[in-house]
Amino acid sequence: MHDYPAPSRTLLLILVALTALGEISTQMIIPSLGAIELMMAARAGSSVMALSAFVAAFGLGQLLLGPVSDRIGRRPVLLAGLSVYLLATLWMLLASSMGEFIAARVLQGLGACAALVLARAIVRDVWQAQAGPALALTVIGMLCAIVVSPMIGGLLASYSGWQAPILLALLIGMGVLLAVAALYRESNQHLDPRAGQLSTLASNYVDLLKSRSFQALALTLACTYGAMFAVIAGSSAVYIGLLGLSAAEYGMTFGAIVSALIAGALFTRRKIMLLGPQRIVGIGAVLVATGAIGTLLVYQLFGLSVIGLSLPQVLVTLGGGMLLPASVAGAVMPNAHRAGLAAGFMGFAQMAGATCSGLLLSTLQDGTAWPMVLLNGLFAVAAFSAFQLLRPRPVASAALAP
């Protein structure tokens, strides 16, 4: 009899925590970015590079760690990744310059990416054909972290300084590592000795990317997260620097905006088996584009305001909440034999979109909200266009007739 995990609430809770770890690491420090720049005597806006460096490492690492886990198992890769995460987070606390802080964030991103990609692969291992709703639930945990973390980070930064949110992330990481070590048994029962080899890796990725369905899901996810990340990375400077909110007020406002992510993910969890991933991704892409274009129009017509910026973004986060779990499920479920590879590439696509968005935002910053609003709109329209152009078209019934 195989000694591998069965579907359980305990395992699902661990996977939810693993999926949320990367967002906790980012969202918790966003309200503190200005204070970090001041303490390290860095130029204004340089902390955006720390966010972009994290997501770049977070995305690139998944291209390798997913396939490696197909070869040697999920557990050893996961334990090593979480250990790297803890060391990097501790380094962030001790950093004395922005360059050192960014280097620590790169290492933290490499550690955190193991948590996300392996959580998704483990869901496919354990829940198999019923992985869709379970994947959606883990994404709901990640989205809850996006909602709650800025609020907690803002309060901690206001009353205890910029190091307090990082310390809390360190403690959460320690708890997750202990839970994995104590409660998770290896779930990959079909190790592939060729997975992770460069020739095999390249061949598998080429084969995966031949699918128009996979292309559509990956590009739509990348551009959607690029649209969202423009606001994630730029909103602190806009709400606090331009609109005059405190760190705590900003955390509450941003948390309220992204709470729609949870509503979208709940819809996906309930309807994904009925509607299918592709249909839900299509609906989500429409909502994201509508909200981003609405934000751009309101800004152009009425200028910058808390309400004018926040309300249209609720549509963006609602569509994003639907699209994120549905796109991952649509990519991973048909690829049971290479779940780590497929999950890794989708994680890479998500972070590639965020990295491009963050780098563009850092380059275009001019002291106004315009770069953030513009990039939000451009990436959202690109997500909608990519899905419409690449998604497989249903075959007409007449064409199937003898």
Q: What is the pLDDT of residues 297-341, one digit of tens each?
A: 999 999 999 999 999 999 999 999 999 889 988 887 777 667 677
Contacts of residue 160, defined as CB under 8 A and 6 or more positions apart, other chains included, come to none
Tokens 């991103």 — which residue?
109
pLDDT at 115 over 70: yes
Residue 129 is predicted with a pLDDT of: 66
Determine the 3-state secondary structure of 44 from DSSP: coil
In sequence order, the 6+-apart residues with CB closer than 8 A to the CB of 380 are 223, 224, 227, 288, 289, 291, 292, 293, 316
The CATH number that domain 9-181+207-390 falls under is 1.20.1250.20
Q: How far apart are CA 27 and CA 61, in angstroms?
A: 20
Going by pLDDT thresholds of 50, 70 and 90, the confidence category of residue 262 is confident
Distance CA 53, CA 104 (A): 9
- Residue type at 108 in one-letter notation: Q
The whole-model pTM stands at 0.74
Residue 269 CB contacts under 8 Å (≥ 6 apart), including other chains: 133, 136, 137, 140, 325
Please provide the size of the chain in residues: 402
> Tens digit of pLDDT for each residue in 181-220?
998 888 777 777 766 567 777 787 888 888 888 999 999 9
The percentage of the chain sitting over the pLDDT mark of 90, rounded to a whole number, equals 37
Q: Where are the domains of the chain?
A: 9-181+207-390
Taking all residues of the chain, what is their mean pLDDT, rounded to a whole number?
Answer: 85
pLDDT(401) > 60: no
Within a 10 A sphere around the Cβ of 9, how many other Cβ atoms? 7
Which amino acid is residue 130, in one-letter code? Q
CA 337, chain centre distance (Å): 24
Nearest Cα residue to 289 out of 301, 297, 279, 278: 297
Q: In Å, how far are 54, 84, 132, 287 from 280, measured between CA atoms?
A: 29, 36, 12, 11
Q: Render pLDDT for 31-68 as a digit per residue (tens, 0 to 9).
A: 887 788 888 877 776 777 787 788 788 878 877 887 78
CB 319 within 8 A of CB 291: yes
In this prediction, residue 176 carries a pLDDT of: 94
pLDDT band, very low/low/confident/very high, at 397 (cuts 50, 70, 90): very low
CA distance 288 to 315: 6
Contacts of 290 (CB under 8 A, 6+ apart): 315, 319
> Would the pLDDT of 141 be above 50?
yes
Q: Which residues of 147-166 are buried (b: 16+ CB within 10 A; e: fewer)?
A: bbbbbbbbbbbbeeebbbbb
